[in-house]
Each structure stands twice: as C-alpha cells, then as structure tokens.
C-alpha cells in the first residue's frame, strides 16, 4: 500500500509538471500504462513484503517453539544427568561399604587362620610330646617289670641264705665266699643301673 501511494504521488507530480497544451494523447496513454505497471509492480512488492513478513513471523514463532523445545530438552538432560550422578554416587557408596565389610572379613579370616595355625602347631607339639611320653612310659613299665624280676630274684637268693653262708661270707682267711657275694651284688647293681630310666 505504501509503494502504491508513492508511485501515485510521483505520477501526479509528473502529470502536474507537464504543460497541458503539449500533452498528447499518446503521451498520456504511455504515462497511464507506466503508472499501471508501476502500481502493479508496487502491489507485487507489497505482496512480497507481506509474504516476507509472514515468513519472518512464522520463522520467529518456529524459533520460539524450537527454543522452548531446546529448553525442555536441557531441563530433561540436567535431570537425567543429576539422576545419573546420584546413581553413580550411590553405587560408589555401596561399593565402599562392601569393600569395608570385605576388609573386616578378610582381617577376621586372617586372624582365625593365624589362630588355627597356632592351634595346629600346638596340637602337633602335644601329639609329639604325648608320643614321647607314651614311649617313655612304656619303656619305664618294661624296665619296672625287669626291676621287679631282679628284685624277686634277689629276694629269692636272700631267702635261700643260711647261717653257714653268712659265716662263710665272714670267713677272714681266704674270703672266697665274700668275693663271690660281692661279685653277685655288683652283678645285681649293674642290672638295676641298666634299668634306670633316662631323664
């Protein structure tokens, strides 16, 4: 509309500037045709301008719509990122708790294993000592049986000693019997010492 007014004003000014006598019909027709073309061109330009403005408004609206979508996506992205961070933090917290519990169990297991090894070593030592004591007790019992036999043999010999044997043992001149008795006592002493338990 604005272009058509400008063109109409130009045409009116041109028409007013020409002297009336000099105007010819053909000139008027030519000017009218030029005016019509200028008005048609102005209308095309106005239509183009209107379409351009409509496209601009549509573009602005599309831009606002896209900006809204972008803002919504940013909000969703921030929420998703926060949720992911919270999940990662929770996972790390639980992992740390599990590691702490695992360390406690590991420490308790190592302590129990140490105690078990010490008990096993102590048991093995006691078993070894028990075997040694059993062997020693068995050897002592066997020696005791031999000592009892030696004692019974000695008592049997003493029981068979008569007055003549005692007098012969005190016989001052030759002393054969006394030597025989001393040799017999040494033999019994050696037998008894052989049966002595080793410390």
* Mean predicted confidence (pLDDT) in 145-173: 61
* pLDDT number for residue 137: 76
Tell which wins on pLDDT, 152 or 18. Answer: 152
Q: Is the pLDDT of residue 21 over 50?
A: no
Mean per-residue pLDDT over the chain, rounded: 78
Give residue 127's pLDDT. 87
- Structure confidence by residue, pLDDT tens digits, 64-90: 999 999 999 999 999 999 999 999 999
Please give the Cα distance from 147 to 143 (Å, whole number). 6
Q: What is the pLDDT of residues 83-131, one digit of tens each?
A: 999 999 999 999 999 999 999 999 999 999 899 998 888 888 888 888 8
Query: Is 171's pLDDT higher than 60?
Result: no
Q: For residues 4 and 35, is the Cβ–Cβ distance under 8 A?
A: no
Q: Answer whether residue 33 shows pLDDT above 80.
A: yes
How many whole angstroms separate alpha carbon 169 and alpha carbon 162? 11
Confidence (pLDDT) at 192: 74
pLDDT of residue 67: 92
**Average pLDDT value for residue range 127-150:** 78
Q: What's the rounded mean pLDDT across residues 9-30?
A: 63
pTM (2 d.p.): 0.36
Nearest alpha-carbon partner for 39 in 61, 8, 81, 18: 8
pLDDT: which is higher, 181 or 128: 128
């Amino acid at each position: 509309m604005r272009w058509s007014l400008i063109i109409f004003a130009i045409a009116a000014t041109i028409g007013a500037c020409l002297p009336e006598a000099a105007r010819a019909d053909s000139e008027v027709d030519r000017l009218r045709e030029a005016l019509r073309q200028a008005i048609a061109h102005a209308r095309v330009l106005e239509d183009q301008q209107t379409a351009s403005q409509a496209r601009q408004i549509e573009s602005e609206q599309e831009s606002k719509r896209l900006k809204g979508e972008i803002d919504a996506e940013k909000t969703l992205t921030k929420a998703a990122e926060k949720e992911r961070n919270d999940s990662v933090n929770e996972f790390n917290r639980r992992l740390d708790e599990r590691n702490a519990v695992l360390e406690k169990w590991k420490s308790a297991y190592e302590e129990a294993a140490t105690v078990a090894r010490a008990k096993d070593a102590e048991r093995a030592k006691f078993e070894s000592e028990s075997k040694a004591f059993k062997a020693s007790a068995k050897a002592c019992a066997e020696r005791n049986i031999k000592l009892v036999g030696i004692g019974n043999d000695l008592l049997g010999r003493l029981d068979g000693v008569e007055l003549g044997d005692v007098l012969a043992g005190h016989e001052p001149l030759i002393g054969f019997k006394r030597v025989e008795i001393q040799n017999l006592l040494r033999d019994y002493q050696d037998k008894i010492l052989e049966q002595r338990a080793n410390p």
